[in-house]
C-alpha cells in the first residue's frame, strides 16, 4: 500500500514538472483593448495607430451652468423613480407580512401552552411589521420630495 502511494506521488510530480516545463516555453503576448467612436470594444494584438482626438477644453463656468440647467428635470425624474420604487417595496413588504401571519414549523410553543405561538413567531412578526413601517416611511419621504413647495 505504501509503495503504491509513492508511485502515485512520483507520477504526480513528473506530470507537474512536465506542465511547468511546457508552460515555461510559451511566450507572453500583449493584448490591446481599443474602443471606437461608437463605443464598440475590440481586442487585438496590435496597438492602435490612429491618433486619439483631443478633448475640447470648456471653461468650468460653462460646465456648471450646463449642469445647473439640467438639475431640476433630472432631480424630479430621479425623485419619481425613487417614489415608484418605494411604493413597490411597500407593497412587497405588506404582502410578505400578510403571507407571514401563519405560524411556521418551529414557531409553536411546547408544553402546557402548546396552542400558543413561541418567541420566534412574535420576533418574526415584529420584524415583518418593522419592514412595513420602514417602507412606509421611505414612501412618505419620497412623496414629500415630489410635492411642490408652497
What pLDDT digit, counting tens, does each position of 23-47 carry?
A: 665 566 677 777 777 777 787 777 7
Tell me the three state secondary structure of residue 56: coil
Give the cell for residue 68: 445647473
What is the spatial distance between Cα 14 and Cα 9, in angstroms, rounded to a whole number?
9
Arithmetic mean of pLDDT, 53-61: 50
> 38-47, 55-64, 95-104: which has the minimum mean pLDDT?
55-64
Q: Which of 122, 131, 88 is nearest to 104 (CA)?
A: 122
pLDDT at 56: 44
Do residues 45 and 31 lie in contact, with contact meaning Cβ atoms separated by under 8 Å?
A: yes
Local confidence band at 73 (pLDDT 50, 70, 90 cut-offs): very low
- Provide CB contacts within 8 A for 90, sequence distance 6+: 132, 135, 136, 138, 139
Report yes or no on whether pTM surpasses 0.85: no
Amino acid at each position: 500500500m505504501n509503495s503504491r502511494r509513492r508511485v502515485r506521488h512520483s507520477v504526480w510530480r513528473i506530470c507537474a514538472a512536465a506542465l511547468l516545463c511546457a508552460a515555461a516555453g510559451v511566450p507572453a503576448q500583449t493584448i490591446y483593448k481599443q474602443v471606437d467612436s461608437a463605443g464598440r470594444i475590440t481586442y487585438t494584438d496590435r496597438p492602435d495607430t490612429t491618433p486619439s482626438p483631443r478633448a475640447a477644453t470648456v471653461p468650468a463656468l460653462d460646465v456648471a451652468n450646463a449642469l445647473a440647467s439640467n438639475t431640476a428635470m433630472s432631480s424630479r425624474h430621479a425623485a419619481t423613480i425613487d417614489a415608484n420604487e418605494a411604493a413597490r417595496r411597500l407593497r412587497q413588504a405588506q404582502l410578505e407580512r400578510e403571507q407571514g401571519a401563519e405560524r411556521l414549523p418551529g414557531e409553536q410553543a411546547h408544553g402546557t401552552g402548546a396552542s400558543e405561538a413561541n418567541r420566534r413567531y412574535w420576533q418574526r412578526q415584529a420584524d415583518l411589521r418593522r419592514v412595513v413601517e420602514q417602507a412606509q416611511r421611505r414612501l412618505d419621504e419620497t412623496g414629500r420630495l415630489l410635492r411642490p413647495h408652497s
